[in-house]
Amino acid sequence: ELNNPSEQAESLVSLGLIENRQGDWQRSISLLTEAQGLLDEKAEPRMAGRLAVVLAEAFIGSGMPETGLVYYQQALGDFRQANAPRFAWYATWGLGMTHYRLNNYTEALAHLRQALIGVDPNGLDAREIGFAHGAGLNRADALVAVQHRHVTAGKAPRQRRAAIDEHARQVAAREP
């Protein structure tokens, strides 16, 4: 409805997400900033969290991961306020992934360990983590190895496998 700011904000967030997926980070950020002005964040913390997650991803995509961290942290608070644990898990995972990309391994492991608590034991991530864990990594480092696999997914299969194996060796070498 055109006269409903909440619905307008939701539509803008959806459009921002589409622009984000298409790689038009600036357009996404512009739409999401407009949505922020329409949204009552206190009354709709889940939508505020969703908006913050998409902003985080847009800033990370545009080369500003530190700003992305701020928005993931905001999203985490919003999702906790909304009592939305699955969404809070996603924000925690995003914090871990972003710290990992920034080579902040201590922070990445802390967030990914926290996210690991929320992994569905029957889900795909759990099976991947179990596979990596079976390779001799502790569960948190296995989670980082799985994330590394996702980050390197755009590489050719042989290069990707080599990158994953090398990363797993580096992580295992840091184990006490």
- Say if CB 90 and CB 71 are below 8 A apart: no
Residue 84, pLDDT above cutoff 90: no
Helices 85-101 and 45-61: angle between axes, nearest 10 degrees: 20
98-153 pLDDT per residue, tens: 998 898 988 888 888 788 776 554 444 444 444 444 444 444 555 555 555 555 45
Q: Residue 79: helix, strand or coil by DSSP?
A: helix
> CB of 31 within 8 A of CB of 12?
yes
**Cα three-residue angle 175-147-72, rounded to 5 degrees:** 110
Using CA of residue 5, residue 8, residue 14, residue 17, what is the dihedral sign? Answer: negative
From 59-68, 73-82, 101-110, 161-170, the region with the lowest mean pLDDT: 161-170
Q: Residues near 161 by Cβ (< 8 Å), separated by ≥ 6?
A: none
